[in-house]
Amino acid sequence: MFKKILIANRGEIAVRIIRACKEWGISTVAVHSDVDRDSMHVRMADESVCVGSHQPANSYLNIPALMSAIEITNAEAVHPGYGFLSENAEFCKKIKNEKIVWIGPDAETIELMGDKINSKNFCIKQNIPTLSKTSKLSDAKKIGYPILVKASAGGGGKGMRVVNSPKELDDSVAAAKREAKSSFGDNRVFLEKFIEKSRHIEVQVLGDNFGNVIHLGERECSIQRRHQKIIEESPSLRLTEDLRQNITSTAVELAKKLNYKSAGTVEFIFDENTNEFWFLEVNTRLQVEHPVTEMVTGIDLVKEQIKVASGKRLSFQQSDIVFKGHAIEARLYAENPNNDFLPETGTIANLSFSNSVNIRWDSGIKKGDKVTPDFDPMLAKVISFSETREESA
């Protein structure tokens, strides 16, 4: 097992990873921007390194500074968390070139699945159910309206537009391209069929370096705002056992085709009217909503990631996984509901957490912390667990 792991992230996910490492006696290194110098993840880690004082958010994207932090602390492995560089294939390659272990899938998998056009083409070749798509505006009629314009390098709802008629197409594509270029530095977009009455179903998968791949059930993330998830739960009440078997086995099949290692999530769009589902994307990292899976399976996903990265086989087979109860996660945002839920800044004047045994808090904040405009407004997550959905809610 590793002696020291550097966490290339901040906030609640950095705290989450540090806690898992502490339970195993693994030393941790936190990185931080100047404004994060006194944050919870820095205080909890055994060591810390400042990776930037200007433009705080860019500090966590500063690959040269992160590589220097790895070198001066002699970290053996890097856990990227989620967001920032967690799905950056170049960062993964640089880590591995220095003989440091990347706690996540291979760079080739990250690169392939990070491009929505290429990932969909791969799934079509592998006979994974995939919605019809095109990069040619002239082929829009073949797909049929309504159509969804999506950024190839996108995420978080950016570079995405719903088009209901041909007269809206040109303006919608132009707007999506501008947003995609601004957000991702890549203005490529494509068109696919928009499913009007849909649900967002995703499957947690785990793979090791020996070809073993299993799933840990599904999560439903249909409650969203501006294409951003705000409520996640497991299991989905909409799936029958047959549908659940079909969608989870499809996720495992795809993960095996990818020779997937570590934790990952295969996302699907599900049509409520027809019970059909189609591939959406693969998130080649830990998800924000991973705690609901942990609650219903009793499996620590961060520890499993570390095990796999250290060269160990998965410690269980599919038949060993037992699903119990129902878990719901709500994200805690620094937003103003009276201002269209736009982000707010300020100082956390008071903070307290429930001590209920059925409630889990994943947080990276403390009383007195300043919420700045430099980072995503999500501050913490509250996860409830009980035997039924009604009790969890």
Could you count the other beta carbons within 10 Å of the beta carbon of residue 333? Answer: 18
Contact call for residues 144 and 193 (beta carbons, < 8 A): yes
Question: Could you tell me which residues come within 8 angstroms of residue 327 by beta carbon, excluding any fewer than 6 positions away?
Answer: 233, 234, 291, 292, 293, 295, 296, 383, 384, 385, 392
Tokens of 87: 């799905």
Q: Give the span between the Cα atoms of 78 and 3, in whole angstroms.
A: 12
Q: Phi, psi at residue 179, to the nearest 5°?
A: -70, -40
Integer angstrom CA distances of residue 80 from 55, 96, 348: 20, 13, 27
Going through 226-305 in order, the beta strands assigned E by DSSP cover: 228-234, 262-271, 277-283
- Catalytic (active site) residue 37: no
Report CA-CA distances (Å) from 318 to 105, 207, 359. Answer: 20, 11, 27
CB 301 within 8 A of CB 152: no
- Quick check: 360 and 291 in contact, CB under 8 A? yes
Q: Strand, coil or helix: what is 178?
A: helix
Burial group, residue 376, by CB count within 10 angstroms (0-12, 13-18, 19+) = middle
Three-state SS annotation for 343-386:
ECCEECCCCCCCCCCCEEEEECCCCCCEECCCCCCEEEEEEEEE
CB burial of residue 156 (10 Å; 0-12, 13-18, 19+): middle
* Distance, C-alpha 239 to centroid of its chain: 22
Closest alpha carbon to 252 in 287, 301, 207:
207
Q: Beta strand 326-333 with 228-234: parallel, antiparallel or unpaired?
A: antiparallel
Question: Considering 285, 313, 331, 360, which one is annotated as catalytic?
Answer: 285
Contacts of 157 (CB under 8 A, 6+ apart): 226, 227, 228
Active-site residue list: 285
